[in-house]
Amino acid sequence: MEKHDLNQNIQSEIIKIIESKPYVLQEPPKGKNRLYFEVSPYLKQHEDNPVDWYPWCKEAFEKAQKENKPIFVSIGYSTCHWCHVMERESFSNPEIAELINKYFVPIKIDREERPDLDRIFMLICEITIRNCGWPLNIVLTPNGLPIFVATYIPPNSKGGMIGMKELIPKIAEIWREKKNEIEENGKKIVEVIKNLNNEIFRASRGKKIDKDITSHSFDVIKSYFDEDYGGFGYGQKFPNVPVLIFLLKFWNKTKNQSALYIVEKTLDSMANGGIYDHIGGGFHRYTVDRKWLIPHFEKMLYDQALLILIYSQAYKVLKKERYREVVSETINYLFENLYDDETGGFFSAEDAESEGEEGKFYLWDYEEIKKICTDEELEIIQRHFGISPYGNNQSFPQKNVIHISLDTQKLSEIYKRNKDEIERIIRKVKRKMKDEREKRTRPFKDTKILTDWNALTIIALTQAYHIIDDKNIIQKAEKTSKFLTEKMTDENGKLYHVYKDGKRGVTGMLEDYSFFILALIELYFSNLERYFVEKSIYFAEEMIKTFYDEQIGLFRNQNLQTDFVFTRPVDIFDHSIPSGNSVALESMLKLYKLTGKEKFLKISERMIESILYIAEENPLACSYFIQAMELFSGKTTEIAIVGKKEDAITFIREFQKRYIPNYVIALIEDDRDREIFFAKDFRQKEGKTTIYICSNFVCKEPKTDINDAIRLLDDSNL
């Protein structure tokens, strides 16, 4: 089962099912089901099943109500290993398919295509069985009340787990005999969620911002830190990048060395561990062990983006060349394997499996490596990567997971050879291994393009551009932004969530807007093209109009005007990516700092008031919100440059080499800039480009010499 990586608390109340997108009833070809007409790669993986799958649509509910059948909802994603297992074992099994079709109306959902639905059903899982992940299977009444929740279900009962063959008739029997009792129980679950949610938001009302919230949050986070291996907890390890982003900012604010140590220890462990692909670059989803050695091998776009971001930021502080190397290799992986040259968008993921075996593309036999190495190379690479003739792990017998066992410094000491020479040999062997690996069958690639994940990738590329002087990086980010603006936006200026095979689909959700707004802001900070700020303001206004709920002071995940399946959830907890509301808060505050528009500040204040109590109680799950809140309550840096763009670019390229969080930059070239930005009254001195460096809008003496401005910057302790 793919784990739900952070413990998530109550987000929203669930009231009733009304309707979703209409489904155009068509007869699929022989041997196919209705998923044949879908574009989602995950749904297409199930189009040959004998299960009579529906996509998510109101027709499925109408059929269930007409025939008085429960609804079997199964949620997964295309690169989920245990989703594949259940598809092979149960959904391709004619006997089990017959039972599903007889007793249920079955619906398949791609959680990446419909994260809104996934979060609602994950919420039900959290308050019922609590141990949640994917595949996620939920049985509903015809009116949408929850009956039964499970993750992976085997075909036959075993090891204390009930199997599909036994479970399906049992649920059907209970539905026939205890229908009223089941419906009452479902209503109670809905009521519990509704009451808990109301209590949480009531607790936040009137809560004042506590200057010690970051210190309290650090203390809680530190208590989960694994001192031996880095990361958090003592079992499976996820990167938890939002937590690391918070810790780096906390160190910058307090100079607490423990916070920096947690970041460094965790990043070092990941960069050396099996979670990192040392041959092809990029990161796997998580590791099944606490040592970061044995990965679950799927590669997700959002993980690459978040890890590029944190390694770029950490490089600015720690100056470890290994971090910049990881950023460069991960970007190369993205550009080679997930970038679509035609559109400028990035694909979603690569599977953990190839040829039906998890990790087959990435694992190595000793003899495979021996065959391509000289004796000298083999001896060094064996020690470097911890390679054994018998395999180096218990999860994959006789196979080797590539990880750094001895670094180049230790190897140079052992062999009494120059470190550069050792590194040259290792680079040569890695090239050989990559060439050899490319002969294998590559894992399945999910080629849908998602707005929120692509926006997150834009943000990551802007951060990487700060530490790697390669214009191709920022040009790719700009091209992706152009794709989202032109192809993922309709004639009315509304964003969409997913793009596949030349078609956009699924109305944009909060994450799509909030992430793209922040991406546009970060692009502006990189190239000072006013267009990006104007677009960010436009989408911010659309986000407020479409998702902001004044009653609770937060953004709903779905359009406020949509008569939708369940009441729209409020996303406040970080999951695999930061929560939509936390990124919205960061975007609102940066736009306020940039433009001085009070509207953005007032919404930010309401958001903080609404979430503060929850954030204090759950700092691990709200770490991105807490770090974003520093733009409101902490020290910020405002840079205003009046004059020529080329002078401004020279300055910001130098400025952005430093780790200075919570900043905004505005270039004033003409009257239009003065209409938009906070620096309306700033003027040139002596007819020269003039740089104003401010902290919380208190400005130091303006400088007309770039070197003087840089010295002032370094002396200002920003």
Among residues 282, 281, 322, which one has the least CA distance to residue 306? 282
The pLDDT tens digits of the residues spanning 391-404 come to 999 999 999 999 99
DSSP summary character for residue 34: G
Could you say which of 633, 667, 684 is where a domain stops? 633
For residue 95, give both structure tokens: 């006997």
208 located within any domain:
no
Residue span of the structural domain in which 509 resides: 213-354+446-633
22 has a pLDDT exceeding 80: no
Helix axes 257-272, 213-223, angle to 10 degrees: 40
Given the DSSP bridges, would you call strands 663-668 and 637-642 parallel, antiparallel or unpaired? parallel
Query: Do 237 and 385 have their domain in common?
Result: no
Supply the pLDDT for residue 624.
Answer: 98
Predicted confidence band at 191 (pLDDT cuts at 50, 70, 90)?
confident
For residue 492, give both structure tokens: 């009315």
The pLDDT tens digits of the residues spanning 117-149 come to 898 888 889 888 878 999 999 999 998 889 999
Percent of the chain exceeding pLDDT 70 equals: 92
368 has a pLDDT exceeding 70: yes
The pLDDT tens digits of the residues spanning 406-438 come to 999 999 999 999 999 999 999 999 999 999 999
47 located within any domain:
yes
**Per-residue CA distances from 586 to 320, 614, 626 (Å):** 28, 17, 10
Query: Do 9 and 48 have their domain in common?
Result: yes
pTM for this entry: 0.92
* Type of residue numbered 707: N
In terms of DSSP H, where are the helices of 373-490? 375-385, 408-415, 419-437, 451-467, 471-487
Mean pLDDT, residues 49-75 taken together: 95
Mean pLDDT, residues 376-380 taken together: 97
The count of other CB atoms within 10 Å of the CB of residue 485 is 18
526 located within any domain:
yes
70 with 141: CB under 8 angstroms? yes
Whole-angstrom distance, CA of residue 107 vs CA of residue 14: 19
Query: Do 432 and 307 have their domain in common?
Result: no
Mean pLDDT, residues 244-250 taken together: 99
> In what helix (H) or strand (E) does residue 323 lie, and over which residues does it extend?
helix 321-333
CATH number at residue 251: 1.50.10.10
Supply the pLDDT for residue 589.
Answer: 98
The pLDDT tens digits of the residues spanning 616-651 come to 999 999 999 999 999 999 999 999 999 999 999 999
Contacts of residue 679, Cβ cutoff 8 Å, sequence gap at least 6: 640, 642, 666, 668, 692
Could you say which of 171, 201, 231 is where a domain stops? 201
Supply the pLDDT for residue 679.
Answer: 86
64 with 72: CB under 8 angstroms? no
561 has a pLDDT exceeding 80: no
> What pairs with residue 450 in β-bridges?
498
> In what helix (H) or strand (E) does residue 105 lie, and over which residues does it extend?
strand 105-110
* Type of residue numbered 126: E
Among residues 400, 395, 247, which one has the least CA distance to residue 314? 247
Supply the pLDDT for residue 681.
Answer: 86
Looking at every residue in the chain, the average pLDDT score rounds to 92
* Type of residue numbered 378: L
**Per-residue CA distances from 372 to 86, 258, 375 (Å):** 38, 44, 10
CATH number at residue 419: 1.10.10
230 has a pLDDT exceeding 60: yes
15 has a pLDDT exceeding 80: no
**3-state secondary structure at position 425:** helix
Helix axes 510-527, 530-547, angle to 10 degrees: 160
**Per-residue CA distances from 511 to 133, 248, 477 (Å):** 21, 24, 18
Query: Do 583 and 514 have their domain in common?
Result: yes
495 located within any domain:
yes
Among residues 326, 327, 346, which one has the least CA distance to residue 338? 346
Supply the pLDDT for residue 557.
Answer: 87
**3-state secondary structure at position 555:** strand
For residue 689, give both structure tokens: 């480009």
133 with 3: CB under 8 angstroms? yes
Percent of the chain exceeding pLDDT 90 equals: 83
328 with 463: CB under 8 angstroms? no
Mean pLDDT, residues 446-454 taken together: 98
Supply the pLDDT for residue 618.
Answer: 93
**3-state secondary structure at position 6:** coil
Mean pLDDT, residues 18-43 taken together: 77
In terms of DSSP H, where are the helices of 502-597? 510-527, 530-547, 580-595
Residue with tokens 């050792």: 422
The pLDDT tens digits of the residues spanning 308-339 come to 999 999 999 999 999 999 999 999 999 999 99
Mean pLDDT, residues 70-83 taken together: 95
592 located within any domain:
yes
**3-state secondary structure at position 130:** coil
Torsion of CA 566, 567, 572, 576, to 10 degrees: 20
Supply the pLDDT for residue 717.
Answer: 75
For residue 89, give both structure tokens: 């074992």
8 has a pLDDT exceeding 50: no
Supply the pLDDT for residue 205.
Answer: 63
Query: Do 68 and 182 have their domain in common?
Result: yes
Helix axes 706-715, 645-655, angle to 10 degrees: 30
68 with 74: CB under 8 angstroms? no
Contacts of residue 29, Cβ cutoff 8 Å, sequence gap at least 6: 36
Query: Do 641 and 629 have their domain in common?
Result: no
Among residues 233, 132, 302, 220, which one has the least CA distance to residue 615? 220
Supply the pLDDT for residue 559.
Answer: 76
CATH number at residue 648: 3.40.30
Given the DSSP bridges, would you call strands 295-296 and 299-300 parallel, antiparallel or unpaired? unpaired
Torsion of CA 441, 444, 450, 456, to 10 degrees: -50
28 has a pLDDT exceeding 90: no
Supply the pLDDT for residue 198.
Answer: 62
189 has a pLDDT exceeding 50: yes
Q: In the sheet where 71-76 sits, what is the strand order?
A: 105-110, 71-76, 136-140, 146-150
Could you say which of 576, 608, 633 is where a domain stops? 633
**3-state secondary structure at position 81:** helix
The pLDDT tens digits of the residues spanning 683-717 come to 999 999 999 999 999 999 999 999 999 999 888 77
Query: Do 32 and 139 have their domain in common?
Result: yes
Query: Do 181 and 219 have their domain in common?
Result: no
With b for 16 or more beta-carbon neighbours within 10 A and e for fewer, the 409-419 pattern comes to: eebbeeeeeee
443 with 504: CB under 8 angstroms? no
Predicted confidence band at 490 (pLDDT cuts at 50, 70, 90)?
very high
Supply the pLDDT for residue 13.
Answer: 33
Query: Do 78 and 137 have their domain in common?
Result: yes
**3-state secondary structure at position 236:** coil
519 has a pLDDT exceeding 80: yes
Predicted confidence band at 1 (pLDDT cuts at 50, 70, 90)?
low
Supply the pLDDT for residue 680.
Answer: 85
577 with 456: CB under 8 angstroms? yes
206 located within any domain:
no
Query: Do 38 and 77 have their domain in common?
Result: yes
196 has a pLDDT exceeding 80: no
273 has a pLDDT exceeding 70: yes
25 has a pLDDT exceeding 70: no
Query: Do 299 and 375 have their domain in common?
Result: no
Q: How many domains does the chain fold into?
A: 4
**Per-residue CA distances from 436 to 363, 368, 371, 441 (Å):** 12, 9, 10, 11
207 located within any domain:
no
CATH number at residue 152: 3.40.30.10
528 located within any domain:
yes
The pLDDT tens digits of the residues spanning 529-560 come to 999 999 999 999 999 999 999 988 999 988 76
**3-state secondary structure at position 146:** strand
Whole-angstrom distance, CA of residue 68 vs CA of residue 578: 40
Query: Do 10 and 144 have their domain in common?
Result: yes
Among residues 285, 278, 277, which one has the least CA distance to residue 301? 285
Whole-angstrom distance, CA of residue 327 vs CA of residue 535: 28
